[in-house]
Structure 1
């Protein structure tokens, strides 16, 4: 990014934060989600970061839970290859931060600083990274520009450009091309993503298809895990558990209504994308004449046909999918781009999605081709599809097995990403102070 464009961008960024300050102050007063990490976003980092900075860490930035989880196998392999190099992870969301803090080989976690050069510069001086790895297409202009001016190479891992963001990126190519063009390596999830990233300015010779590390991050198929969660929920072998995961506003009412006329053997669990929405979900369940139960207060017992168990905790949905007989992917029945279908598929759970899965185009293509997922054309198809599948165990078994087999065939991206990271680290000028 040249100086005039950088100055223009910084002027607009300062103006944006100034104008939006009243809104964010209001939201912070009402929600912990907006208060979380404020001091770090303003560049005030824990004192321990200074010591880590002296060891020149690798800085990995992942926006939220899905991106952070996809880096888990990369972090593990990096630590095995270069245990002397600490790893710092940054996130935007609180849920992503909680997950990053649980990863065993991460030396420190921080919230991504605001896109203001004086704040990002301060954070860079403290963290003092030898390499910056961005996950998906987290192209933060100030962060990337500061890395370039500091002589720190930048990589893009799991690179993708969604169908929804592609037109916007093309319109702003004049702005993004220098940023993409300066990346040391661009590792795309698919050939379509590679072509789009090159069209946006990424160097052809430094851009390749590595696949997605999400396939390496999913837990192994685990019968013991399934048995443990089903026992905790008091489920008998003939009872059918439907798990609606990562739901957005409006979807809970749709799913509860769709499940209302099903067999007495069916049980329902709903996991909102943001657990702090639990109270809203409880009201939705009550309006539907069902009994809401919170997982955080669940002390065991038996789920009844009128009960709806609400996951109001962080980090447990991935394991809970193992207990499911049928999964419904949230954020996909309205135009929000969908959520990760890989987690239930990794446990051979038959999975349904709505029509809007644009943010997981590559994973959906893999699962659809293998006959491992059902993508509905709209909300109207959900009730009859749930009714059919809840009474068709053989079709469910086939869906789940197809999905599981498709995922196994696509593992290995984490090894390729780590190989590229080590190649950049070993380059003569990498991370020169």
Structure 2
């Protein structure tokens, strides 16, 4: 089908050569357009965008440029350092873009969709993303974006009835085009249903509204409006009837209405803005036949005259502002079967609007305005005359329509901002999974693995490796000095610690990597809650998309954030502890005060708070991984210590985790090290006990989680997938329960999984004959929600883990009881 399309496209260009020649002679700027469309751009046209990861927005003509203008303003706010490229198809669109879009770094003509041209442009520009406005989908261009892995997002998407019927005959080409688009930001529910009908995945379709509601380029103050009236020689008129974007066959109806209007209102003037300026002489002739004196906007600007009855707007890109001078507006293309034109430009000025019955190109907007009596629909010339007379004869009705029109505009603003946010989310997700990024990520992961092995390897090293470790060691000395200095500022009283009006417990560690802080925080929070205390958990919100001082993940009744917004740890805590508030924020003094003031808590738990010295704590619980112990004894970046070992002295409780997976000598080494630096801490050992498995689809349902037996995986082949600090411990747990791990996939800690990655893992599982994919609960909240409602060829199970204390259970809980303040009342 693509070959057939290309043959037709090439033949069409050849057949249209005579037409191109005629237009080149008649139409100024057409030759420049065609030269660029064939790929011959002016020198330096792409200097600011080519190879600079630009955002490429394509808008065909004037209407799309109007929609694009507010979007680009929001993109500039959202991506201040990213170049923006705008492409257009028509001369009028090019002129308009250069006039109203000031934030674009480059404006060019879009290449013809011939087999070789789009790829040439894509290869040279290499944009970060391509955004077609409305329905600007071109097969060869989209094929090139697929080849070079450029994400595509449709913005201000609009699909007319005509387009739905036309596109469905493109068969496989349509599937390829729709399949290329990663996100469809549509104007309305109608447009969304149409694009889904054409084959778009409904999970990729969202309704943002119409960005034309946000346009401001047509804004006109009173001074500018008065100047326009003078230039149009309409400042002495006692009313202006304006017909905008008229087509052949509509001017006669407009002039008939004007003839009747003029009988009752002799000083009313008519302003006609034809859709095609090339028809201006034809329209002037029609006006003369009706007995009206006529003049052109361009002539009046040079030679003012007040003799004419009708002014013809023969300029490009002015209509949006000129609408401001009209009292009653007729929007053309609607009395004939063209499908109408957008009524939002006159609506932005708060005008009373009349249209014909054929508004199928703007069905949703037309319905919106009609339902609120902000637009009159007429069926023919006679009804047009009646409507015009009514609005001029009844100013009260006209003013009511004007007020309602402005209110509709105000109620529907914000589509451009929503589009910018969606684009940011798309790029954040896409740039983690496209081939180039994945390769880059793999290199980083390999580098991380190499560094980890290098700093922990006790074997003889090469001279370059020794030199490199020497550099790392020098940086670790600097880091150590800074950590000691900062802590001493608090010890010396120079930096003040904040005391909250509640009991503060810190749970943390002094090494990089997972030690089991989150399950420990859950266990202690439940225990303290069951004692009758009001508890809140303060998490820093690592890798959370939400930014601010206080983020309420859960108020103890309802969860307000997703895993992406809150970060996986905080979201997991909120899900596991539905009746305990969970807050995120980098400054726990602020989130702590908020918890006390708003939730009246008795106890706050700082999840990963050992290094958060700003907040004075009543109890420091230090976790030590019995498998990893204290790293290699060196500070970052030479080792994995966050603080020097002598800082162990701040701990009130030392909890050794995963001791069942460690050797006795390791546990003894930990106890000996603790004894060296801390002679007062209570030392407790714990294990991570597997309780069973939860199918991932059940985890996010409203029903209680069904926990399957821990023995169900014994002897069965599984793939272990994790993005945690200590994947080896997770894998050891699976081995201990008898699962046969065919492959272990380790992603970076806190990694955000994508649909493509999960599908790849499922494919690997099928090839290897694995019966399930096993993940941790921390990984579960990072699985894309779109996968949860789909049938999966391979089940994904979450292993449910519980922290269990060895022997000293009652000792630790009694210790907590003794330390906690007495409950009030």
TM-score by length of 1: 0.93
Question: Given the alignment of the two structures, is residue 354 of structure 1 paired with residue 356 of structure 2, yes or no?
Answer: yes
CA distance in 1, matches of 2:58, 2:421: 18
Report how many aligned residue pairs link the two structures: 428
* Counterpart among 28, 40, 53 of residue 44 in structure 1: 40
How far the C-alpha of 1:279 sits from its partner, in A, is 2.0
How far the C-alpha of 1:229 sits from its partner, in A, is 3.0
1:351-396, CA deviations, whole angstroms, 9 ceiling, x for partnerless residues?
Answer: 1011111111111111111110001112331122222222111111
* Counterpart among 330, 336, 355 of residue 334 in structure 1: 336
Question: Greater shift after overlay, 251-260 or 342-351?
Answer: 251-260
Question: Given the alignment of the two structures, is residue 242 of structure 1 paired with residue 241 of structure 2, yes or no?
Answer: yes
How far the C-alpha of 1:127 sits from its partner, in A, is 2.3
Specify the alignment match of 1:133 in structure 2: 131
Specify the alignment match of 2:55 in structure 1: 58
Specify the alignment match of 1:229 in structure 2: 228
Question: SS state of the match for residue 161, structure 2?
Answer: coil
How far the C-alpha of 1:97 sits from its partner, in A, is 0.5
Contact 1:355 1:377 in 2 (8 A): yes
CA distance in 1, matches of 2:434, 2:104: 21
Return the structure number with greater relative CO, CA threshold 8 A, min gap 6: 1
Question: SS state of the match for residue 109, structure 1?
Answer: strand
Specify the alignment match of 1:382 in structure 2: 384
Question: SS state of the match for residue 164, structure 1?
Answer: helix
1:86-145, CA deviations, whole angstroms, 9 ceiling, x for partnerless residues?
Answer: 111111111110111121111111111111121122222232211100011111111111
Contact 1:131 1:430 in 2 (8 A): no
CA distance in 2, matches of 1:397, 1:131: 44
* Counterpart among 70, 73, 82 of residue 73 in structure 1: 70
Unaligned segments of structure 1, at least 5 residues:
none
Contact 1:163 1:358 in 2 (8 A): yes
**C-alpha spacing 1:65/1:432, structure 2 compared with 1 (3 Å):** farther
CA distance in 1, matches of 2:228, 2:18: 44
Larger radius of gyration: 2
Question: Greater shift after overlay, 62-71 or 26-35?
Answer: 26-35
| CA RMSD across the alignment | 2.1
How far the C-alpha of 1:319 sits from its partner, in A, is 1.2
CA distance in 2, matches of 1:261, 1:379: 12
* Counterpart among 322, 325, 336 of residue 324 in structure 2: 322
Alignment of 1:170-181 (within 5 A): 170-181=168-179
* Counterpart among 9, 24, 32 of residue 5 in structure 2: 9
How far the C-alpha of 1:429 sits from its partner, in A, is 4.4
CA distance in 1, matches of 2:153, 2:170: 21
TM-score by length of 2: 0.50
Question: Given the alignment of the two structures, is residue 206 of structure 1 paired with residue 204 of structure 2, yes or no?
Answer: yes
Question: Greater shift after overlay, 195-204 or 345-354?
Answer: 195-204
How far the C-alpha of 1:323 sits from its partner, in A, is 1.3
Specify the alignment match of 1:31 in structure 2: 27
How far the C-alpha of 1:273 sits from its partner, in A, is 1.3
Specify the alignment match of 2:251 in structure 1: 252
CA distance in 2, matches of 1:302, 1:239: 16
Specify the alignment match of 2:479 in structure 1: none
Contact 2:246 2:275 in 1 (8 A): yes
CA distance in 1, matches of 2:378, 2:364: 17
Contact 1:67 1:135 in 2 (8 A): yes
**C-alpha spacing 1:401/1:224, structure 2 compared with 1 (3 Å):** farther
CA distance in 1, matches of 2:71, 2:150: 20
1:220-271, CA deviations, whole angstroms, 9 ceiling, x for partnerless residues?
Answer: 5744444443354455687110111111122223212320122202111111
Question: SS state of the match for residue 296, structure 1?
Answer: helix
Question: Greater shift after overlay, 308-317 or 45-54?
Answer: 45-54
* Counterpart among 139, 145, 148 of residue 147 in structure 1: 145
Unaligned segments of structure 2, at least 5 residues:
438-825
CA distance in 1, matches of 2:328, 2:341: 16
How far the C-alpha of 1:26 sits from its partner, in A, is 3.2
Question: Greater shift after overlay, 261-270 or 407-416?
Answer: 261-270
CA distance in 1, matches of 2:325, 2:2: 51
**C-alpha spacing 1:176/1:335, structure 2 compared with 1 (3 Å):** same
Specify the alignment match of 2:155 in structure 1: 157
